[in-house]
Amino acid sequence: MSKKINNKGLIERVRGMHDVMSNEYLIRKKIIEKAENIASFYGFEPIQTPHLERAELFTSAIGESTDIIEKEMYKLKTKGGDNLVLRPEGTAPIVRAYIEHGMQTKPQPVMLYYHGSFFRHERPQRGRSREFQQFGLEILGEENSIVDAIIIKTLLTILEEAVGIKPISVHINSIGDKECRKVYQKELTTYYKRKTNDLCKDCQYRLKSNPLRLLDCKNKECDEIKQGAPQIINYLCPGCTNHFKELLEILDASEVSYFLDQYLVRGLDYYSRTAFEFFLEENPDEEKMSLELGGGGRYDSLAHILGNKNIPGVGGAIGVDRAIKILSEKKKLSVQTKTPEVFFIQLGSNAKYKSLFLLDILRKAKIPIKHSLSRNSLKSQLKIASKLGASYVLILGQKETTDNTIIIRNMETTSQEIVPISKLVDRLKKKLK
RNA sequence: GUGACCUUAGUUUAGUGGUAAAACUCCACUCUGUGGAAGUGGUAUCGGGAGUUCGAUUCUCCUAGGUCACCCCA
């Protein structure tokens, strides 16, 4: 925002990128840690894939005609001429890694969790940046719907417990496999084609580019048409029907409540069968649009699209930034940085020279400490100490340095005692109890 | 990618066609070894560039960034 260095824009962030500092950083870290604990309880193992991947990995996996590929990828070309992109999503890289490292030789299914930055070049707005954090889960090598349920249940638990957002509503649907979806899409298209003239502009475009998205339209004019549209549930093949039914039964038995959303579709080409999304259950008094907190689905054909034999898989991810955004909007940010208990003050150059040595003693004794070593006057250092809310202050002056002692000052009672440095740790520990 | 609104110190905001004000914060000093106070001072080429004008922070255009909506998605 600011300039200072002339007009060169050197002091300016790139659009859609954000600095994460102090409290937010710590909250983020905590959420991730808790999420990792929950994930590993359910049996997931960590994986970290690179930020850069070959462009083709995504163009073929996600689908050429999706927005992500058409306009949202950060592309760069290497000197050797390779086309690379900053990863726009997490699933394709993980399937790539699974194949590349021969994970099919491990006991199946392989369950993985990851978190990190993803990049999409789109117009920033509420809950959407160009660099954003996801926490995601993938289960590869298993077709049974129990693993779909594991993904949903684990992500739900993470949202509710690690992030602390309740209540979450789970929207769920099945979009069939390649075969039955093809049939359905045809039906849907013919149904809509007859009503082309009554559709909104976007839908007329969708009809050609991505018919499934017609169901996603929020426009009133299209609502009526949508009501009468054929439902995918009725077109699922026996295999898909059973898979979906079983998933719902498992969720029922797990006491996960969900909302059957026949209009829920996913944008990426590789999805099949299960699709799900998480929302914050809406409060009627809040006028803000409800953000999708996370989502995912099954992608049994992804490995095949990438040129491998079929590997069934299912996964999902949580938008960490969005979750934090909602937390802060609900003012639930537990802003709790540890208050520094002890503040170290030095006076005079001899003391200053010795201060790093002293700090090290305290560090090894695991006594957290704050300081302002670059300052000289006692007054200003005390001021800072009280501003930070320190309960004890250590003062090392000229006299103490030569005597090998140090002053411990109680900031509340203003009482002080002089102790030999050799006894400092013991005395402090007693006081801090 | 499309559209709307916005951009004045670190922060939050005044204000005017004749080169800017307040509050809080920060830094320094008053006060060279004892804090929470007070006083004094310091910190802005009014996001950047171009144009209109004798003169623009103020008007116009462009650009960058912010916020929001659409598309789409996490």
Q: Is the pLDDT score of A336 beyond 70?
A: no
Neighbours of A31 (CB within 10 A): 23
- Distance, Å, A1 CA → B11 C1': 13
A278 nearest nucleotide via C1' and CA: B74
Domain-terminating residue out of A329, A353, A387:
A329
Q: Single out the residue of A325, A274, A28 nearest to residue A170, CA to CA.
A: A274
Whether A61 and A35 share a structural domain: yes
In tens, the pLDDT along A209-252 reads 778 888 877 777 777 778 788 888 888 899 999 999 999 999 99
A383 nearest nucleotide via C1' and CA: B35
Q: Using N-to-C axis directions, what is the helix angle for A145-157 and A238-253, rounded to 10°?
A: 40
Work out the pLDDT band at A144, boundaries 50, 70, 90: very high
Rounded Cα–Cα distance for residues A350 and A420 (Å): 17
Q: Looking at the domain assignment, is residue A377 inside a domain?
A: yes
The better pLDDT of the pair A223, A78 is held by A78
Whether A168 and A251 share a structural domain: yes
Nearby residues of A382 by Cβ (< 8 Å), 6 or more positions away: A345, A393
Whether A252 and A383 share a structural domain: no
The better pLDDT of the pair A204, A93 is held by A93
A125 nearest nucleotide via C1' and CA: B68
Q: Looking at the domain assignment, is residue A12 inside a domain?
A: no
Domain-terminating residue out of A263, A294, A329:
A329
Q: Looking at the domain assignment, is residue A350 inside a domain?
A: yes
Whether A64 and A113 share a structural domain: yes
Q: What ipTM was reported for this prediction?
A: 0.83
Closest CA to B70 C1' — which residue? A202
In tens, the pLDDT along A19-29 reads 888 788 888 89
Q: What is the mean pLDDT of residues A34-55?
A: 95
CATH number (domain holding residue A360):
3.40.50.800
The whole-number pLDDT of residue A316 equals 94
CATH number (domain holding residue A27):
3.30.930.10
Lowest mean pLDDT among A116-120, A193-197, A358-362, A401-405: A193-197
Closest CA to B9 C1' — which residue? A2
- Distance, Å, A133 CA → B26 C1': 33
Cis peptide preceding A107, ω within 30 of 0 = no
A71 nearest nucleotide via C1' and CA: B1
Mean confidence (pLDDT) of chain A = 86
Whether A418 and A306 share a structural domain: no
- Distance, Å, A380 CA → B19 C1': 37
Closest CA to B33 C1' — which residue? A378
The better pLDDT of the pair A340, A182 is held by A182
Strand B, nucleotides covered by protein (CB < 7 Å): 1-3, 8-11, 26-29, 31-37, 45, 47-49, 64-74
Whether A262 and A373 share a structural domain: no
- Distance, Å, A225 CA → B66 C1': 39
The whole-number pLDDT of residue A228 equals 81
Work out the pLDDT band at A94, boundaries 50, 70, 90: very high
Q: What is the mean pLDDT of residues A352-379?
A: 90
In tens, the pLDDT along A246-303 reads 999 999 999 999 999 888 888 777 889 999 999 887 654 454 557 889 999 999 989 9
Domain-terminating residue out of A308, A329, A350:
A329
- Distance, Å, A283 CA → B25 C1': 37
Whether A375 and A267 share a structural domain: no
The whole-number pLDDT of residue A253 equals 94
Whether A146 and A283 share a structural domain: yes
Whether A262 and A292 share a structural domain: yes
Strand A392-396: give its sheet, edge to edge. Answer: A369-371, A342-346, A392-396, A405-410, A416-420
The whole-number pLDDT of residue A190 equals 86
Q: How many domains does chain A have?
A: 2
- Distance, Å, A181 CA → B42 C1': 70
Whether A248 and A378 share a structural domain: no
A296 nearest nucleotide via C1' and CA: B74
The whole-number pLDDT of residue A4 equals 35
A396 nearest nucleotide via C1' and CA: B33
In sequence order, the β-bridge partners of residue A342 are: A369, A392
The range of the structural domain enclosing residue A391 comes to: 342-432
Percent of chain A with pLDDT over 90: 45
- Distance, Å, A19 CA → B47 C1': 19
Q: Looking at the domain assignment, is residue A189 inside a domain?
A: no
